[in-house]
Structure 1
Amino acid sequence: MIIRTGWQRTRCLVLGLALTLPVQAEEPDAMAAAQAEYEAANIAAMQAAVAGPTDITINDQAHLQLPEGMAFIPKQQTQRLLQAIDGQGDSAVEGTIIPQSEDENWMLLVSYEKTGFIRDDDAKEWDPDGMLDSLKEGTEAANEERRQRGIPELEVLGWAEVPAYDSAQHQLRWSASARQKGSVDSNYTINYKTLALGREGYIGMNLITDMENVDRLKPLASQLINGIAYNDGKHYSDFSEETDQVAEYGLAALVAGVAAKKLGFFALAAAFFAKFAKVIFIAVAAGGATLGKLFRRK
């Protein structure tokens, strides 16, 4: 008997891919169970969603002022949703921000990475073209694992926004255009990244939308990243050379190297939400507002 992993079962639902292993009689039941789990995870997420304006705690590091018109799905329920995607998820994700308007088509994953203090010296002289080449190489190297697991391979097309670092605010912004290899879709998924560096790591916000809407939503991403306030003692400026751990890489490697490992996961997440979340509506009991489509593709 061939036992399917949770990721393999979900893959059938998310991307409609042909199975790479022989079809077994148990598979229809497994697929139905995977879809049922996703639907149950969605219900749990929507029931736990907190409507703004409100204050959100991010790990033990910071607080986020969530504006009106948005809602926040806490970590536990977000993790359940992400695990429904590939059976693994991403343990660094602290929660999901979604719009309450039915006319919006984006979602934003909030994460915290405890990397140690990241030096930003290299931001003064980095080469965006070289960083893009490194990102493409890293993505291509990661395609080997994707092939082995049956995940569609990705290709990086270019920068949707060239990496830029604000040394005063210790914030990094960048976005790579990526799509499935062989795709001719011009309105492909965009992951717009904003990062706020702290003493022990960084808080990341990954805005998932499409090419048509990313420019319109950049101010929203800026509003949210600027709404983060690190706790006392956790600020970037609180770093102590004598006592604190320092990350083994700088900002350039963070963009070009580490990010390549997660690019495929977020692309898969986008496909998953695009397929299923567009049919979900929920009333937030506290405010009576309607949470619209988490992610709706035209």
Structure 2
Amino acid sequence: MGITRIFVLFAVLAVSPVKSAIAQPLVEDTEVSAAAEMTDEERYLAWAQQTWDGMERKGGVIDLPGSVASIDVPEDFYYLAPEDTKIVLEQIWGNPESEHLTLGMLFPAHTTPFDPDSWGVTIDYSEEGYIRDDDASEIDYGDLLQDMQASTREESRQREEMGYEAIELVGWAEAPFYDAEEKKLYWAQEIAFGGMDTNTLNYNIRVLGRKGVLVLNFIAGMSQLEEINQNREAVLSMASFNPGYRYDEFDPDVDTVAAYGLGGLVAGKVLAKTGFFAAALVLLKKFWVLIPLAIGGLFRAFRRK
């Protein structure tokens, strides 16, 4: 199909300045008529093309909002700013509106947010204090998982009482791993939502800093676990704290120490303020494809334009 722009197509009339005032109502009528004749699919694709064209895809070294951290985006990824990320999460992927703005989002260069098989990485920062990592070798992640599953069952009961679907923490999709030298932690959970045929992947990366933690979450499906693992190291290497905010610059005389260690970080305390299950629902909603998969291939026509 090639790179195709699908817009509302109007007749372009060559009109002299003298006739323009008379011709204007005719042009407007033509525009309204053309728009009315478009199918729902054509209207959606026109909106999708316009939305995609309006997004600024960035690469290279980017100072994130707040100037606490930066990301170095290679050529095989692109970065979307917070405002464009909000459009992706709410308007394209159908999540509820939120006043919260992320620090942006990463996508593989060969995909757009409109592709049914796309995935992305949201970026956030939580100033929870300096997280000590001296308990790293002592954590029993098997026991921690059991505690988290028990908490999830209780949360699920509360959700069902409120009329929402049940939720289950199935287990680790990727067991927690901590890089003590780089001060980076990752783990992944498999989550099942009632009424869904496929489970959700909740894949997390945390970068420890002097005053808080960078929060990077992959938004993907369980079927994409292998692809995510293949790209994990690339994403891990992109994010770093700016001078003055790095982990090794901690000053015990002036800086706050978090009330928990790495185990508490994995258990989700950093997400408590925004809600772990709200974050999980973002992952789920991404796969409630709001457009027929039959037109999914058409999105590739304007991919990475």
TM-score (structure 2 length as normaliser): 0.70
Preserved contact between residue 58 and residue 112 of structure 1 (Cα < 8 Å):
no
Code of the residue aligned with 1:94 in structure 2: it is L
Counterparts of residues 58-73 of structure 1 (less than 5 Å): 58-73=65-80
Shift of 1:45: 7.0
* Range 94-103 or range 220-229, more displaced: 94-103
Q: Which runs of 5 or more structure 1 residues have no equivalent in the other structure?
A: 1-35, 284-288, 293-298
Shift of 1:79: 3.3
2:161 is the counterpart of 1:154: no
Q: Could you say what secondary structure the match of 1:146 adopts? A: helix
**Matched-pair identity in %:** 26
Q: Residue 106 of structure 2 aligns with which residue?
A: 97
* Range 175-184 or range 125-134, more displaced: 175-184
Code of the residue aligned with 1:235 in structure 2: it is R
The count of aligned residue pairs is 248
Q: Give deviations 1:117-146, integer Å, cap 9, x for gaps.
A: 111122120011111012212222332443
Counterparts of residues 145-224 of structure 1 (less than 5 Å): 145-181=158-194, 183-185=196-198, 188-224=199-235
Q: Residue 117 of structure 1 aligns with which residue?
A: 130
Q: Residue 243 of structure 1 aligns with which residue?
A: 254
Q: Could you say what secondary structure the match of 1:205 adopts? A: strand
* Range 105-114 or range 41-50, more displaced: 41-50
Q: Residue 256 of structure 1 aligns with which residue?
A: 267
**RMSD over equivalenced CA pairs, Å:** 3.2
- CA–CA distance in structure 2, aligned partners of residues 184 and 164 of structure 1: 29
TM-score (structure 1 length as normaliser): 0.71
- CA–CA distance in structure 2, aligned partners of residues 60 and 130 of structure 1: 37
- Structure 1 residue runs of 4+, over 6 Å off? 39-42
Code of the residue aligned with 2:238 in structure 1: it is G
Preserved contact between residue 155 and residue 178 of structure 1 (Cα < 8 Å):
yes
Q: Which runs of 5 or more structure 2 residues have no equivalent in the other structure?
A: 1-42
Q: Residue 9 of structure 1 aligns with which residue?
A: none
* Range 195-204 or range 130-139, more displaced: 130-139
Preserved contact between residue 51 and residue 69 of structure 1 (Cα < 8 Å):
no
Q: Give deviations 1:239-272, integer Å, cap 9, x for gaps.
A: 0111001111111011114267544223322333
Shift in alpha-carbon separation, 1:86–1:143, aligned structure 2, 3 A: farther
Q: Residue 130 of structure 1 aligns with which residue?
A: 143
